[in-house]
Amino acid sequence: MKFRNDINGLRAIAVLPVIFFHAGVIGFNGGFLGVDVFFVISGFLITANIIKSQKSDSFSLLSFYDKRARRILPPLILTLLITTVFSFVFMLPYDLKNFGQSLVSTSFAANNILLYLTSGYWSLASEFKPLYHTWSLAVEEQYYFILPIIFILLLKKQKCLKVTVILFFIISFLSSYLIENKEFNFLMIITRFWELCAGSLLAMYMKERVTTKNDAMSIIGLFFILYSYYNPYILSNNSAIINLAPVLGTLMVIAFTKPNSIIYKILSTKLIIIIGLSSYSIYLLHQPILSFIRLATEGQVGSYKQLMWALLSIPLGYLSWRFVESPFRNKKVVSNKVFYSLIALCFMSFISLGLFLNKSYGMQQYYVFSKYSYGVNPQAYADRPYSLAKHNFESDGQKMLIIGNSFARDIYNALKENDATDGYEVIYLANYNNDISLSRNLLSHADVTILVSSSGMANKIIAPSTLKASAIESKNEMDKYSNGNYYYVGTKNFGFNNNFIKQINWDSSKNYMVEINKSNIYADKIESNIFADNYINLLELFREKNKTRIFTDDHRFISFDTDHITKDGALFLGKRILKTTKLKNIIL
């Protein structure tokens, strides 16, 4: 179809808010919806091109995928190459392992699936994943595999074709509306299909009917898009309803904007055109830039500093478009033989490296990386106490009950590594409130009870009233149903991000101190007042003012994610707990 400056301008309107959102700029709470604008544009353009090719009897799957490959893969490969190089500079082995998984899944257009399968408690925060944003590329690529097949199968049955696309739209929209799993809803194609279908349906409609210029509808459409960036939750917190405004707005702009209209002129200004042309490369590059800045920084990075760095993706994206995207789309410049040989070589290399990084746990056994290693698989180690979950005590000897989530499992590991659990039958209870009668029964039969806080974890400040009420409720349960011999272990924290340590001199870093998250300090203050003599203060073990150490005396990381402890950390922390706190009384 004929190139439209307004659609190209919409790409700029889509990519900039995504950058502002990821940089944490105030006023762009819905900047992530720029991706939805991209989806609609992609659905419209791809379908319009398929219709045009079929009309002239020139459509073929081979030609379609060749154009998609030449459009998508060169900038992606450049991004993967740059990201891979910088990952070795900025990442510890633990994060390199996760990066290896992303490298493989992105190469197979399936990073959205990987992100969903690995989402949850132990998932690495998205802001530290340089390839997190390729989930949207995976969704588009999966759509490209489905849509042409539908058009080929139903080429001579146009009514059936329309009904099929409409049916896909309805099923996908309803899935997005009804599915409450936010990770699934955000990442998977079944709940995103309707947005691409919306663009496809518009292209099918405009094939048969010429839409007329309507400035009012164009302006309203652009308003829907821009306002959704500012306030995405005005109507609902439901994902389908949130995404509806930018989708509808994009459809309106595409349908009713014509040359010489107000919106067309706005979207056709020179700077917007340049950003629109470069938008794909800009989008690919902005997330790695932000991720590596965060990985290299000890604490949280201010939003305007993040924005300053993220805006570098605009000139870099333009260079990528000019010298990578454009040349590789031209068969006269890069022949099929050269193009596909390079593509195959690059992706085989990325997949091989990714698998190696994953299997070798980020090459943690190699000399240059071994000093940064967390030793064993830290997540598996942290989850070890699950094997102690039982419904009742079975022995006549001393009984210990440990209550709480992953922070409680850390405390068990710390005690176990220092032989403090010897002589006890230990039961681990992950959630006290799941079965209150069972929990009270275990509590009443335990000789020693250790209840562990996780307040302030992940830098989340809990409202004072909520925190106090929860702590008081827990204390009342302990006072009423235990034998009185209980301890409440407070929250712990070892900074915000370990990866920054690669940017300082290793030999002088053993006693390095980092800022304790304010959320942990805040929670510690409230809970210590409530539990008083029964409180075990973990923050005070290594605290100097509002800083804490991050390494053991053997120069090993205490924590692998600044919240949960490594095996070395368990031995080190447990030794200090049993030497300086009342928990030393539990040793038999």
Cα–Cα separations (whole angstroms), residue 85 to 79, 81, 397: 10, 6, 57
Per-residue pLDDT at 243: 97
Other CB atoms closer than 10 Å to residue 16's CB: what's the count? Answer: 21
State which amino acid sits at residue 382.
Answer: A
Concatenating the DSSP letter of every residue in 238-259 gives -HHHHHHHHHHHHHHHHHH--T
Fold held by 380-586: Rossmann fold (3.40.50)
Per-residue pLDDT at 121: 58
Element at 137 (helix H, strand E): helix 134-153
Measured distance CA(265)–CA(564) in Å, rounded: 54
Concatenating the DSSP letter of every residue in 163-208 gives HHHHHHHHHHHHHHHH---HHHHHH-GGGTHHHHHHHHHHHHHHHH
63 phi and psi angles, rounded to 5 deg = -65, -40
pLDDT digits (tens, 9 = 90+) for 509-528: 999 999 999 999 999 999 99
Measured distance CA(340)–CA(70) in Å, rounded: 9
Helix, strand, or coil here: 377? coil
Measured distance CA(34)–CA(17) in Å, rounded: 6
Residues of the chain with CATH 3.40.50.1110: 380-586
508 class by beta-carbon count within 10 Å (0-12 exposed, 13-18 middle, 19+ buried): exposed
Measured distance CA(535)–CA(528) in Å, rounded: 6
As given in the structure block, the two tokens for residue 587 are 């040793």
Cα–Cα separations (whole angstroms), residue 27 to 218, 244, 429: 23, 20, 43
Measured distance CA(137)–CA(39) in Å, rounded: 10
Mutual angle of helices 93-107 and 336-359, in 10-degree steps: 140
Mutual angle of helices 193-208 and 34-55, in 10-degree steps: 40
Beta strands of 438-485 (E only): which ranges? 448-452
Task: Write the CB contacts of 345 (distance below 8 Å, at least 6 apart in sequence).
Answer: none
Mutual angle of helices 93-107 and 61-90, in 10-degree steps: 170
Strands of the sheet containing 448-452, edge to edge, are 424-429, 398-403, 448-452, 486-489, 535-536
pLDDT in tens, the chain (588 residues): 677 899 999 999 999 999 999 999 999 999 999 999 999 999 999 999 999 888 888 888 999 999 999 999 999 999 999 999 999 999 999 999 999 999 999 999 999 999 999 876 556 678 899 999 999 999 999 999 999 999 888 877 888 999 999 999 999 999 999 999 999 999 999 999 999 999 999 999 998 777 788 999 999 999 999 999 999 999 999 999 999 999 999 999 999 999 888 999 999 999 999 999 999 999 999 999 999 999 999 999 999 999 999 999 999 999 999 999 999 999 999 999 999 999 999 999 999 999 999 999 999 888 788 899 998 788 889 999 999 999 999 989 999 999 999 999 999 999 999 999 999 999 999 999 999 999 999 999 999 999 999 898 877 888 889 999 999 999 999 999 999 999 999 999 999 999 999 999 999 999 999 999 999 999 999 999 999 999 999 999 999 999 999 999 999 999 999 999 999 999 999 999 999 999 999 998
Measured distance CA(33)–CA(285) in Å, rounded: 18
pLDDT digits (tens, 9 = 90+) for 78-127: 999 999 999 999 999 999 999 999 999 999 999 999 999 987 655 667 88
Tokens 């980092």 belong to residue: 514
pLDDT digits (tens, 9 = 90+) for 389-430: 999 999 899 999 999 999 999 999 999 999 999 999 999 999
Per-residue pLDDT at 158: 83
Other CB atoms closer than 10 Å to residue 415's CB: what's the count? Answer: 25
504 class by beta-carbon count within 10 Å (0-12 exposed, 13-18 middle, 19+ buried): exposed
pLDDT digits (tens, 9 = 90+) for 17-47: 999 999 999 999 999 999 999 999 999 999 9
